[in-house]
Amino acid sequence: MELGKILKFIVLKTTVIFLIFISTISFGQQEKLISRYKPGLLWHYNGLRPLEDSRLHKYDRFIIDVTYNDWLSNTHGNISSSWKSIGFNANVMFEKRFKKATSFSIGYGLRYGLSNVYSQHKTNILHNQIELCEKETTDLYKHNIFRENSLVLPFEFRFGKPKARAWKVNVGGYIGYGFPVQQITKFRNGDRTKMALAPNFGFRYGIHCRFGGRTMAIFTAYQLSEMFKQGESVHPIQFGFSYSLF
Segment 85-127, tens digit of pLDDT: 999 999 999 888 777 667 888 999 999 999 999 999 888 887 7
- The set of residues, in sequence order, having a beta carbon less than 8 Å from that of 59 and lying 6+ positions away, is 39, 40, 95, 105, 158, 160, 165, 168, 244
Say what the pLDDT of residue 125 is. 82
Q: How far is CA 1 from CA 4, 6, 114, 194, in A?
A: 8, 7, 21, 15
Say what the pLDDT of residue 231 is. 80
Say what the pLDDT of residue 163 is. 59
The answer to whether residues 207 and 224 touch, using CB atoms and an 8 Å cutoff, is: yes
Say what the pLDDT of residue 139 is. 84
Say what the pLDDT of residue 31 is. 42
In a domain, 11, yes or no: no
The answer to whether residues 35 and 29 touch, using CB atoms and an 8 Å cutoff, is: no
In this structure, the strands spanning 192-196 and 203-213 are unpaired
In a domain, 65, yes or no: yes
CATH code for the domain in which residue 127 is found:
2.40.160.20
Helix, strand and coil content of the chain, in percent to the nearest 5, comes to 10, 55, 35
Domain count, the chain: 1
Q: Which residues does residue 205 pair with via DSSP β-bridges, in sequence order?
A: 175
In a domain, 145, yes or no: yes
- Please state, in angstroms and rounded to a whole number, the distance separating the CA atoms of residues 157 and 193: 42
The answer to whether residues 83 and 116 touch, using CB atoms and an 8 Å cutoff, is: no
In a domain, 2, yes or no: no
Query: Is residue 7 classed as helix, strand or coil in its secondary structure?
Result: helix
Say what the pLDDT of residue 50 is. 55
In a domain, 33, yes or no: no
Q: How far is CA 219 from CA 66, 117, 203, 243, 244, in A?
A: 9, 17, 22, 10, 12
Residues of the chain predicted below pLDDT 50: 1, 3, 21, 23-39, 44, 46
Could you tell me which of 63, 61, 60, 58 has the C-alpha nearest to residue 90?
63
In a domain, 149, yes or no: yes
Handedness of CA 14, 113, 60, 42 (dihedral sign): negative
Could you tell me which of 147, 157, 82 has the C-alpha nearest to residue 118?
82
In a domain, 28, yes or no: no
Residue 8 DSSP label: H
Q: Which residues does residue 151 pair with via DSSP β-bridges, in sequence order?
A: 112, 177
Could you tell me which of 165, 119, 158 has the C-alpha nearest to residue 141?
119
Range of the domain at 151: 59-244
In a domain, 63, yes or no: yes
For the chain, where are the alpha helices, taking DSSP H only?
A: 3-26
